[in-house]
Amino acid sequence: MTQSWRRTAIIIFAAATLVVPGTASAHDPDLNHPGSSASGTQHSKNMKLLANVERSEVATQSDLAFDGNLAYAGNYTGFRVIDVSEPGEPEVVTDFRCNGAQSDVSVYEGLLFQSVDAPQSHGGCDSTGVTASTPGMFEGVRIFDVSDPANPQHVASIDTDCGSHTNTLVPDPANNRALIYVSSYPLGGAALGPNCVRAEDGGGHSKISIIDVPLDDPAAATVSPYHLDEGTEWATYLGSYTFRACHDISVFTEINRAAAACMSEGQVWDISDPANPEFLYRYDNPAVKPENIDLFHSATFSWDGEVVAFGDESGGGGAARCTDPDDDQGRIWFLDLATGEELASYKIPRAVETTCTMHNFNFIPRKDGGKVLVSSAYTGGTTVVDVDKLIGGASEADAEVGFYQPGGGNAWSSYWYNGFIFANDIQRGLDIYLLSDKARAGAMKLPYLNPQTQESVIN
């Protein structure tokens, strides 16, 4: 695994490789006139599909992490390691089977962390699905040694209350450790699991788990709770399960901030002491109603640390919430990080009649601090938007830089990494796109990337 982030390790892509002459910009009148094919694919002229790595079996593909030239692609039966040094000709290094949804992944210093939020018969990779009431069942985070990416080794399985729907890496090199923020919430009744409601938590989970992983002895990892602020809004999910919990968390270690997408609201925390976060403020929006299966799902920061973004997974990832591009369902909301002031919002400016909402996203790390965001939108594909233009008052159609909506696709995660866009598609597998547009000019090359973990300010 790479060493901890060094500013000197960041390399600026040559401008000639960033902008292809003659390609569309956001002002090109043809940008939002999609191309099409027999498969129903639509895309802007400036986005090209370079390669697809088909999924290896009928398993839901989930989140992504990157280290050097390797992409780590989670799925409900484990994870794949894919060599993307030649983005047009990616190669699978290993297809590692280790049962347990949803297999959110983070990588750091030769270790991989895999989230498991479906009760398993035990913590090993040959486990089978069981109920939450099964004695000895496991749900939580598995740790692997991936120093040899072709041969991952299972190191430990760390139980966490309510399992791990997602996990967020918080590097702490000063103490030779990594902290893992574990987000989880009720996905079903206690018989199905994960079982998250505990009397000692006020009857509604009301916490995240923090795993402390010593880098020289990861099997000795320990777990402690972080209890959410008492004012955290209760969520009534699907009209059945009332609780307080977080779905996902992003951290920005240089500025000591975390953005927590906590179902009914977004929260910003001070993580100067990363083992003991401190609540700063909340963002609540009446358009995000958990009783309607709308929920604060994801978060990220602009690389200059000025803007925080919270995404609403309206419909819970199972409903058509892009049928009206002008309504407030399924949007990403952009706030001034310092003040919490709402600055703008965005969702794709095209009507999509199938499962669609904004899902997982990150900002392009531009040297000039420009704020351009890449996001997945389930069957709405992958979209790229100039957030500075949105904040300046531009419409979604005018601010959208490019998009790719493959026929039959269902993009779970779409992220910018080192000159390309990587989308892990639930059904298609890994798609790799090239964006040819000035919006990418000045993008930085990173030694590694966990999309929910930002370490150094870029501006």
Q: What is the pLDDT of residue 236?
A: 74
Residue pair 171/96 in contact (Cβ under 8 Å)? The answer is: no
Query: Nearest-CA neighbor of 290 among 360, 230, 239?
Result: 239
In the predicted structure, residue 143 carries a pLDDT above the cut 90: yes
Taking residues 305-318, report their average pLDDT: 94
- Residues 71 and 74: their CA atoms lie apart, in Å, by 10
What is the separation of C-alpha 94 from the centre of its chain, rounded to a whole number of angstroms?
Answer: 22
Q: What is the mean pLDDT of the chain?
A: 89
Contact criterion met (CB below 8 Å) for 226 and 277: yes
54-58 average pLDDT score: 86
- H or E stretch at 388: helix 387-391
pTM: 0.91
What does the alpha-carbon distance between residue 245 and residue 256 come to, in Å, rounded to a whole number? 21
**How high is the pLDDT of residue 293?**
77
Give the pLDDT of residue 324. Answer: 96
Residue 25 has pLDDT above 50, yes or no: no
> Is the pLDDT score of 167 beyond 80?
yes
- 242-298 residue pLDDT tens: 788 999 999 999 999 999 999 889 999 999 999 999 999 999 998 888 777 788 999
Between 180-189, 326-335, 424-433, the lowest mean confidence (pLDDT) is in 180-189
**Tens-place pLDDT, residues 335-368:** 999 999 999 999 999 999 999 999 999 999 999 9
The confidence score (pLDDT) of residue 186 equals 76
Per-residue pLDDT at 1 exceeds 60: no
Q: At residue 202, does pLDDT exceed 80?
A: no
Domain edges within the chain:
1-58+285-459
d(CA 79, CA 67): 14
Tokens encoding 111: 């270790």
437-455 per-position pLDDT tens digit: 999 999 999 999 999 999 9
**Residue 3 predicted with pLDDT over 60:** no
Reply yes or no on whether the pLDDT at 15 is more than 60: no
Residue 288: the pLDDT is 87
> Given this model, what pLDDT does residue 325 score?
95
Among 236, 230, 254, 362, smallest CA distance to 308 is for: 362
Burial class, 12, CB count within 10 angstroms (exposed 0-12 / middle 13-18 / buried 19+): exposed
User: Residues 108-114: what's their mean pLDDT?
Assistant: 99
d(CA 23, CA 436): 6
Please say whether the dihedral angle defined by the alpha carbons of residues 29, 33, 34 and 36, taken in this order, is positive or negative.
Answer: negative
The CA-based angle 192-194-199, given to 5 degrees, is 110
Q: How many CA atoms lie within 13 A of 354 on its CB side?
A: 12
Identify the pLDDT of residue 28.
29
pLDDT of residue 131: 87
Give the end-to-end CA distance of the chain in Å, rounded to a whole number.
26
Give residue 7's pLDDT band: very low, low, confident or very high (50, 70, 90).
very low
* 427 vs 32, residue with greater confidence: 427
For residues 26 and 424, the model is more confident at 424
pLDDT of residue 127: 96
